[in-house]
Amino acid sequence: MDKLWATVALSLAAQIATYPLSIYYFHQFPLYFIFSNLFILLPLTAMMYLGIVILILKFYFLAPIFEWIITFTNNGLKWIAGLPFSGITSIWIDQWQLILLSFILIIFSIALAKRQKKLFILSLFSLLIFQSYAAYHKVSALGQRKILFFSLRKNYATAFINANETILITDLTQNDKSFNFFVKPALDQMQVAKIHFVKWEQDTTINAFTKKEHQLSFYGYRILLVDQKLNYRSIENLPQYETVWLHQNPRKALNDLRQEVLFNTLVIDASNKDYNLEKYQMEANKIKVSYHILKKNNSYLVHLK
């Protein structure tokens, strides 16, 4: 029992020490960490000594046993990770919250170890500040209204965010790796809970979002969607848009577009070929218009009033 408690205590100490950095960088916290750490204790010890024997004494016939232990350990950890309520995900904190949380854990640990009442009260007061700051961020998110053009390698994705809900124009699905690696973390950080997926070809109206006939409106912010269907077609009456979005290699010259449409910003997504990206960039520089290329560059964020 002493050895078991020593292992549990070591696991607790390691988890507490790495907890702030863990949620800051990986945005999740494992709830079954004691169970998983106890599970890997024996296989990890066996792997360490068996690996030394194989490397130093060159007992390569033991390699299949070594491989089986690794596979068994990985499968066991995957099973634990797949259990219900195995972890808390989508935890986002900034650098100030990271520093404050680390301070709280240090003061709280010292207070318990040395039984100091003042430090214990200080840690609780600091925790109250931390929770108040987190609550402020949640409340602030309910009033957010943004447009986020994601920078992707091959795909396109733009989120029209209102409070904790967004309309996402994209060719990605919830199961795509690019969505889960690039798009979803940013939406989680903005505390978006509900996502409406809309494709480029799809016209729709959702609350204040309207997409129809290559035009898009979101709380007064207007976007002209330019693709190959507008090739060799003129736009009449000199309409005004905040942004023009170029998609899938349109052949319309930017100089001609500038004569037909009033706009402030040009957005060029990754569905365009690389040689077209260079051409659009050169044309945009000639007509002196602000542009954002959404490939190998930063994403483009628009804050709406």
Higher pLDDT among residues 234 and 196, named by residue: 196
CB neighbour burial string for 112-144, b if at least 16 within 10 angstroms, e if fewer: eeeeeeebbebbeebbeebeeeeeeeeeebeee
Query: pLDDT, tens digit, for every residue of 171-193?
Result: 999 999 999 999 999 999 999 99
How many angstroms separate the CA atoms of 183 and 175, rounded?
Answer: 12
For the chain, report the end-to-end CA distance as a whole number of angstroms.
Answer: 61
Residue 115 has which token pair?
């039984």
Q: How far is CA 215 from the centre of its chain?
A: 28
In tens, the pLDDT along 80-116 reads 988 998 888 888 899 999 999 999 999 999 999 999 9
Q: What is the tens place of the pLDDT at every residue in 10-51? A: 888 888 899 999 999 998 898 998 888 888 888 888 999 999
Q: How confident is the model at residue 233 (pLDDT cuts 50, 70, 90)?
A: confident
The beta strands (E) that lie in the chain are given as 28-30, 87-89, 145-149, 157-162, 165-170, 194-198, 204-206, 209-212, 215-218, 221-226, 240-246, 262-268, 290-293, 300-303
Query: CA–CA distance from 186 to each of 92, 151, 161, 195 (Å)?
Result: 10, 12, 11, 13
Which CATH superfamily hosts domain 145-300?
Answer: Ribonuclease Z/Hydroxyacylglutathione hydrolase-like (3.60.15.10)
With beta carbons less than 8 A apart as the criterion, state whether 16 and 105 touch: yes
For residue 174, give the nearest of 189, 194, 145, 190 by alpha carbon: 194
The answer, yes or no, to whether residue 75 has pLDDT greater than 90, is yes
* pLDDT attached to residue 102: 95
Give the predicted TM-score (pTM) of the model: 0.80
pLDDT-derived band of residue 296, with 50, 70 and 90 as boundaries? confident
pLDDT digits (tens, 9 = 90+) for 201-218: 999 999 999 999 999 999
Tallying the residues shown for the chain, one arrives at 305
pLDDT for position 40: 87
Strands 145-149, 300-303: parallel, antiparallel or unpaired by DSSP? antiparallel
Predicted local confidence at residue 199, as pLDDT: 94
Amino acid sitting at position 219: Y
Residue 289 has pLDDT above 90, yes or no: yes
Look-up of token digits 């002493």 = 2
- Note the pLDDT of residue 87: 87
